[in-house]
Amino acid sequence: MGKEREPKEFEEKVLHINRCSKVVKGGRKFSFSALILIGDEKGRIGYGFAKANEVSDAIRKGSEAARKNVITFEMVDGTIPHEIIVSHDGAKILMKPSKNTGVIAGGKIRAVLELAGIKNVVTKNQGSSNPINQVRATFKALKMLKSKEKFLEERGMK
């Protein structure tokens, strides 16, 4: 009898695969790095970066790393609670909440926000085009988001 497959908790996406070569005595030796993103489209998301000699091994290691690196963040009506500017290494990202615009973002930032479950946001990448730095900057921005209620609570107001 076959095993029953349970529904997956997270949706998984391969964002970037990079091939590296090292010149050795016998020729070139190739290795691969993979940037993997997982998310449930309900405010939980994680990323993993891993290297291996085979693409499939790099993807597997990356998804395991992503499951260990899951974060939750504040969302208000399918968008972010406030505007934020974050930089990480060379990447600088501006994120603004919006209404009924959809996700206006480029490349890797779009993938992160869609898997996170954000429906309306405007973003601008103002720095690096390096996928890893873009993803790390986006995660940093999502971690820094706070709802209005949380701000008031921290200040001791009701």
68-101 pLDDT, tens per residue?
A: 999 999 899 889 999 999 999 999 999 999 999 9
- Return the pLDDT at 150: 87
Domain-embedded: residue 6: no
Domain-embedded: residue 24: yes
Domain-embedded: residue 33: yes
- Return the pLDDT at 33: 97
Residues 91 and 150 placed together within one structural domain of the fold: yes
Q: What is the pTM of this model?
A: 0.89
Q: Rounded distance, CA 49 to CA 3, Å? A: 30
The beta strands (E) that lie in 9-145 are given as: 11-24, 27-39, 44-52, 70-72, 84-88, 91-97, 103-104, 121-125
Domain-embedded: residue 2: no
- Return the pLDDT at 149: 87
With a cut of 70, list the residues of the chain below it in pLDDT.
1-7, 158
Residues 40 and 54 placed together within one structural domain of the fold: yes
